[in-house]
Amino acid sequence: MIHIANPEFDDAEKDAVVGVLDSGMVADGDVVRSFEADFADYCGTTHGIATSNGTTALHAALEALDIGEGDTVLTTPFSFIATANTIQLTGAEPVFADIDLETYNLDPEAAEEVARKHDVDAIMTVHLYGLASDLDPLVELADNLDVPLIEDAAQAHGAEYNGTRVGSFGDVACFSFYPTKNMTTGEGGMITTDRDDVAERARRYINHGRTDSYEHAELGHNYRMTNIAAAIGREQLQKLPGYITARRRHAALLSDGLDGTSVLTPTEPDNRTHVYHQYTVQPDDRDDFKSYLADNDVGAGVYYPKCIHNQPAYDGVNCHVPIAEAAASAVLSLPVHPTLSKSDISHIVEVIQDYE
């Protein structure tokens, strides 16, 4: 079976973890500080704040922006549920705008239309599947509304918009290092920002609101990353450019091989660099296609089969997002990860060509 994901580790990660274990300093510490600095430098931001996972990064970032009870955050309904859950965890309310038909990302025109109908206090865009959102109009919309822009970059490490890496466009951005992501720490997250005030509040929030050893200025959580996770992350970050090159190469081979079939392949706008966390396609009949792939030893995943507002936890939420709902009923992702071989790619292509 060719699996949809395959995290890759070698002696570099193992040696780094052993070094931390031998030091005895396994919790939050100097290795985390180094990883934060490395990742912020990679994204081109002033600050990096490491967290225990991508969800805690989003939650802490929203709290650091003082989003809370009575506030409204505009976002996409087509994402992992953590995008909206973290908004609700602050006491704020998510409102959903539709997505772009080709990129699956938040449609700036739809976002502006929804913003005209609601008193929006923040905008959270998601760089879905490894492709940057259309950021210029979203930055402009946030500026015109005088509200912060949050980048949910959980799937987009290294993705670029007009030659600049995501994570540096909004007031704050959040990444995930879950094992299936383009780089991993096992579990982990990162907040990036150029705003000193946001960085300071986020650092406090993830550490029980602590300002000194036993001084706590406000409520907070223990959302800290460990030195063990950070040690893995530092090694993975060095490999990330190579991982991205491999994903883009595999995506190009898949697109070339599927050209002429009925399967709709991903779009990469001219001003963006897709890093293919997922290679997401649209077949004519997803269920039949997925079953056929499994019968032929090709793993596939559906991200995401339901829009967030259609989840039981969001019962009663009303929005008009026909494009997002159509995408949720149609999309399917194929293996594109760096450990695929040429024969793996050839097999995937041949299987799909035979399906036609």
Sequence ranges of the domains in the chain: 11-234, 241-355
Q: Give the β-pairing of 93-96 and 72-75.
A: parallel
pLDDT of residue 212: 85
Q: 131 pLDDT exceeds 80? A: yes
d(CA 35, CA 49): 9
Any idea which fold 241-355 has?
A: Aspartate Aminotransferase, domain 1 (3.90.1150)
Structure tokens at 41: 């430098």
**CA-based R_g, the chain, Å:** 20
pLDDT of residue 213: 83
d(CA 336, CA 250): 6
Q: 269 pLDDT exceeds 90? A: yes
pLDDT of residue 125: 98
pLDDT of residue 246: 98
195-254 pLDDT, tens digit per residue, is 999 999 999 999 999 988 899 999 999 999 999 999 999 999 999 999 999 999 999 999
- For all residues of the chain together, what is the average pLDDT? 97
User: Tell me, what amino acid is at 18?
Assistant: V
The residues facing 164 across adjacent strands are 161
Q: Are residues 164 and 171 in contact, defined by beta-carbon separation less than 8 angstroms?
A: no
d(CA 323, CA 113): 15
Classified as helix, coil or strand, 61 is helix
Q: What is the pTM of this model?
A: 0.97
d(CA 165, CA 130): 11
pLDDT of residue 316: 87
The residue-averaged pLDDT of 58-83 equals: 98
Nearest to 257 by CA among 228, 279, 230, 276: 279
Confidence band (pLDDT; 50, 70, 90) for 279? very high
Classify residue 272 as exposed, middle or buried by CB count within 10 Å of its CB (0-12, 13-18, 19+).
Answer: buried
Spelled out in words, what is the top-level CATH class assigned to the domain 11-234? alpha beta
The residue-averaged pLDDT of 157-183 equals: 98
292-336 pLDDT, tens digit per residue, is 999 999 999 999 999 999 999 999 899 999 999 999 999 999 999
d(CA 336, CA 254): 8
Q: Which helix (H) or strand (E) holds 84?
A: helix 82-89
pLDDT of residue 194: 98
Say what the alpha-carbon torsion angle 242, 249, 161, 75 is, to the nearest 10 degrees: -100
pLDDT of residue 356: 75
User: Tell me, what amino acid is at 50?
Assistant: A
pLDDT of residue 250: 98
pLDDT above 70 covers a percentage of the chain that reads 100
